[in-house]
Structure 1
Amino acid sequence: MHDDDDEDRADALFHALADRTRRDILRRVLAGEHSVSTLAASYDMSFTAVQKHIAVLERAGLITRRRSGREVLTSGDIAAVRPIGSLLRGLEDIWRGRVTRIDDLLAETPTRPTSPGRTPLKE
């Protein structure tokens, strides 16, 4: 993710996932479709607050809503979650590359010779 659109998408995804309730809602709707009413009953907050959490997840493209009669049903989009894993793997690759370079530098560093008459410390 390097262009501005990708960066905006990453910002939206991480903002959506920054909240514990939203992560829990996402886990639930990835497992199966739920009505907004059912989801709201699962949390110790107002129906409106849960709707706002759902709206953040929907704007990030992580869930979809559809109307079925008088109910609004939500479901998760696993394909939308995959870019998060890809982005995190990319960051991990950068970190692992840094660790490897540090290991290489340490391996190249010559050991200090001991002074005459002194013995090296034993580990």
Structure 2
Amino acid sequence: MIPEDNLGAAIRLEAFRDADFAAYKTDRKSMTGGIVMLNGMAVSWGAWKQGGVSLSTTEAEFVAASEVTRELLGLRGMLCEVDVEPALPMQLRVDNQAAIEQIAGEASSLKAKHVNAP
């Protein structure tokens, strides 16, 4: 769906994702939640328990970012199959500075040494 006044405009995919470190006290698993927007309209959203146990807030946020990146790439692939090419770069919004630095490869900390970022 593209509003008439935006015909010909670039297609934008943007995701907002957050994690709650060790939200589940019984098994210490973190919670992930977020939304994916296509030109400002929600196309995917949800909240769920992460599959493994994160050792830090940074790791929980990194896992959440990884999950939404797969989702963005999947949506981009579906759009490309119908000859709709989303604008690059797609936007990923994460609210944890340590996770942002880890993802960008700018920093590494002892708490996240076991997490591999490209």
TM-score, normalising length from structure 2?
A: 0.26
Higher relative contact order (CA 8 A, sep 6+): 2
**Which structure features the higher share of helix residues?**
1
TM-score, normalising length from structure 1?
A: 0.25
**Which structure features the higher share of strand residues?**
2
Rg larger for? 1
